[in-house]
Amino acid sequence: MMVGQDELLRAALPAPMIDRHVRSAAPILLEGLALWLRRPLSVVLCADDGDISSALGLSDGFGFGYRTVHYDVEVMNPAQRVRRLGSFGDLRQLSLRGMR
């Protein structure tokens, strides 16, 4: 998570056990972070299994992320991922250009 040039949070979460609690936990986590920061979040969700993406309650069954007042989710297929999450330098560059 970047705010300006400051990195506040970096997370790589393990695959969840799919049940009704997980479906409500991920949106609540994002809503809580958005409220904490007092701004909407732009989120990239990358999961090896499309069923996991939709089971988290952050995307539909067609691979489109949900958009709420608190967050906007973009689903990324792991095949699209050029490299594993690293230094977040590309996000810092976007931040320097004024993009979020």
Question: What per-residue confidence (pLDDT) applies to 56?
Answer: 83
pLDDT at 31 over 90: yes
C-alpha angle 72/60/70, rounded to 5°? 25
Q: What's the whole-model pTM score?
A: 0.68
CB 70, CB 35: distance < 8 Å: yes
pLDDT by residue (tens digit) across 82-93?
Answer: 454 555 555 555
Average pLDDT over residues 62-77: 89
Question: What per-residue confidence (pLDDT) applies to 100?
Answer: 44
Average pLDDT over residues 34-43: 90
pLDDT at 79 over 50: yes
Euclidean distance between the first and the last CA atom of the chain, given in angstroms as a whole number? 11
Distance CA(84)–CA(30), nearest Å, equals 22
